[in-house]
Structure 1
Amino acid sequence: MKKYNYIIVGSGIFGAIFAYEANKIGKKCLVIDKRSHIGGNIYCEDIEGINVHKYGAHIFHTSNKKVWDYINSFAEFNRYTNSPIAIYKDELYNMPFNMNTFNRLWGVRTPSEAKAKIAEQILESNIMKPQNLEEQAIKLVGKDIYEKLIKGYTEKQWGTKATELPAFIIKRLPVRFTYDNNYFNDKYQGIPIGGYTKIIEKMLKGIEVRLNTDFFKSRKEFENLTEKIVFTGMIDEFYNYKFGTLEYRSLRFENEILNQENYQGNAVINYTEYEVPYTRIIEHKHFEYGTQPKTVITKEYPARWNKGDEPYYPINNERNNIIYSKYKNLSNKETDVIFGGRLAEYKYYDMHNVIEQALKCTEKELQK
């Protein structure tokens, strides 16, 4: 008889939910993580009494009541509403593109004036069949919005000129003809009071957890200890890159503790001009309406990804999608391994998507 029913590789939200649900019905679980902390990318670190989002801003939002009720059973959420600001050459614009943005750009005041301005710029561009991201964006929102608020940010994010990026990356650009700065359309939104780490701590309470533990260094040993593996890491690494390496974009973070109460007046400010090397500055205390005497800011720099770097954004182009489909076909044949989460599925997921997938997965697996 095996020591564990499940060994879960990764203590992020997918792995933690699986472990919690399995443990609830008496299954013996071991959670391992190569990092020195639980929580994956939603981990928050207490710095100067502020919950600092160590791997980029995480703002919870969903329209799925089941997901919202589930996550609220582990934490109380505040009323935080994501209303980022974009800075282009010292000009401030509201995001997402809405009437406040258009008023700042063109001085227009009514939706019909804004629509006419965008339509006029689209017509002037004379782009019928967009050949790249730049043309696609201009065809959707016109030249002004593209040049000030999309071009530089996108080129930094992807590390490539917009004219060399495929058009399909931008299928649509949300444009709102209301004076509403709420970034998300979802019904439910907020930040857990006390940070995300507390949620994962509650999920993993009473479950054996081993940190600083690399699955691949003791793979055979772990496989011999358990009936099944739940794998939330990179699927190509699981198969020893036999079909090739899946590509990502990475991020680099620079944290600063500032001896002032309020640095920028907003949690998220995007820098959209190419000449500014970071894409945004996060001021973490604003997520929880903090009144601490100091503040912590994070500059977020997009980075080229190399094997061994932290993978953030999958590059879902044709080459990578073909490689992933080969790994996916292999994974479908596994009887003792369950794959889940953004790295195992090579897909950019928001938190609510991961919770949804994890709940579906546990329901299917644990009802057997």
Structure 2
Amino acid sequence: MTTDYDLLIVGSGLFGAVFAHEATKIGKRCLVIDKRSHRGGNVYCEKIEDITIHKYGAHIFHTNDKFIWDYVNQFTTFNHYINSPVTLAKGRLYNLPFNMNTFYQLWGAITPEEARAKINVQIDRFGVANPANLEEQALSMVGKDIYETLIKEYTEKQWGRKATELPPFIIKRLPIRYTFDNNYFNDTYQGIPVGGYNKIIDGLLEGTEIRLNTDFFDDRSYFESLAETIVFTGKIDEYFDYQFGELEYRSLRFENEIINSSNFQGNAVVNYNDATVPFTRIIEHKHFEFGKQPQTVITKEYPESWSSKKEAFYPVNDKKNQAIYKQYCLMAKDSKVIFGGRLAEYKYYDMHQIIASAIRKFKTEYCETK
């Protein structure tokens, strides 16, 4: 059958853009479609008051993989930004991730031995051998003081569920250090692309045909007829017509505000831990690029329940949803479609992981079959 393109790529986020780039390099004809009005998915940036705004929340690039670091640096220059967020809890500011600065702020602990002893006493008292939920996991990792002051309310606000109803693995990502080190990511390479992520997306998609404001499901049979191979980065349950039910997500709402001040909060990211505050954090975007503009722009991030009319941000990876996802995975294996990215794989990905996954799947699921 003669087709117009070798590949139809549904979604212009990092996975789709990387896949298109690799395919274009070897002479494949690609069409990328996206239902949004812009390319780049959640890493898309826009300008407000000459400040680069991360439209869908803070995106800090970090990796230990030199190949991935060199891969993104071919399209733009990265600055030396280091992510060092703080959190406001019970009227006091604490450093993140949990480190000696945090332990001093909590207890006045000066040495690692003091902090470790304090935490171990609380773990012995409140921890459990086999944590069954997030609360038990946290108590078993850091004890009661850190959990109740800096984890419980923020997490329940973020996920819209009690900590006792959340799986334990969610909290295992949280770094704990017995050094005075506020660098959130313990990776060799870290920074923000100067001018935002659009330069990377534009570089990846150079030479590729792109159609925006184009929903695959508005005319599915037409789009399926266009190419020999489909790369799908949308929701996997939607692709299979929700045959086993809908997968659940958490959504986010962003509120931007222009502030007539050169510096609103003194840091790019400040978390708001307490349940009485409806948003989870405020992002002051100019600090990502050490901006000197006379005004500043902040974004408040509100976690929300998800519906089909809202953006799906965080997969709810509990047992029920994982059981549903596994059924879709079986269908995907029997399909000729290549599924990739956060929504298609129902998995939280950092940016470097998405890029690595796209390159790997291009080589193993596309090139090796051709």
Q: Distance in 1 between matches of 2:169 and 2:28?
A: 44
- Matches of 2:286 and 2:332 in 1, distance apart? 41
Deviations 1:30-51 (A, max 9, x none): 1100000000000001111111
1:100 aligns with 101
Tell me the distance in 2 between the aligned counterparts of 1:343 and 1:125: 36
Per the normalisation by structure 1, the TM-score is 0.97
1:362 aligns with 2:362: yes
Alignment of 1:52 with 2:53, yes or no, is yes
- Contact kept, 8 Å, 2:127 with 2:139, in 1: the verdict is no
AA of the residue aligned to 2:152: K
Secondary structure of the residue that 2:219 maps to in structure 1? helix
Report deviation, 1:166. Answer: 3.6
> Deviation at 1:21?
1.2
Residue 8 of structure 2 aligns with which residue?
Answer: 7
Shift of 1:223: 1.0
| Count of equivalent residues | 367
* 8 Å contact kept, 1:140–1:172: no
RMSD: 1.3
Q: Which amino acid aligns with 1:216?
A: F
Residue aligning to 2:17? 16
Counterpart in the other structure of 1:250: 251
Cα offsets for 1:166-185 (capped at 9, x unmatched): 43433464210000000011
Q: Is this contact kept in 2: 1:141–1:173, CA < 8 A?
A: no
Check 1:129–1:344 CA distance in 2 against 1; reply closer, same or farther (3 A cut). closer
Quote the Cα distance in structure 1 between the aligned partners of 2:194 and 2:174: 32
The Cα shift of 1:138 comes to 1.5
Evaluate the alpha carbon distance shift between residue 234 and residue 103 of structure 1 in structure 2; reply closer, same or farther with a 3 A threshold: same
Distance 2:107 2:144 in 1: 12
Matched, 1:237 2:238: yes
**Residue 144 and residue 322 in structure 1: after superposition, are their counterparts in 2 closer, same or farther (change >3 A)?**
same
In structure 2, what residue type is equivalent to 1:271? Y
Aligned equivalent of 1:209: 210
Q: Deviations over 1:197-251 (max 9, x none)?
A: 1111111122111000000001111111111111100000001101110000111
1: CA distance, partners of 2:352 / 2:78 = 14
Paired residues for 1:1-368 under 5 Å: 1-125=2-126, 127-171=128-172, 173-335=174-336, 337-364=337-364, 365-366=366-367, 368=370
C-alpha spacing 1:26/1:182, structure 2 compared with 1 (3 Å): same
Task: State the 4+ residue runs in structure 1 displaced beyond 6 angstroms.
Answer: none
Which structure 2 residue ranges, 5 or more long, are not aligned?
Answer: none
1:341 partner amino acid:
G
SS at match of 1:146: helix
CA–CA distance in structure 1, aligned partners of residues 158 and 173 of structure 2: 18
Checking the alignment, whether the CA contact within 8 Å between 1:11 and 1:40 is kept in structure 2 is: yes
Q: Distance in 2 between matches of 1:123 and 1:303?
A: 35
Q: Distance between the aligned counterparts of 1:167 and 1:234, measured in 2?
A: 24
Paired with 1:241 and 1:63, the residues of 2 have a C-alpha distance of 37
SS in 2 for 1:324: helix
Change (3 A) 1:160 1:5: same
TM-score of the superposition, structure 2-length normalised?
0.96
Deviating more after overlay: 162-171 vs 215-224: 162-171
In structure 1, C-alpha distance between the alignment counterparts of 2:48 and 2:248, rounded to whole Å: 33
Q: Retained in 2: the 8 A contact 1:137–1:173?
A: no
- Residue type at the aligned position of 2:42: N
The alignment partner of 1:170 has SS state of: helix
What runs of 5+ residues in structure 1 fail to find an aligned partner?
none
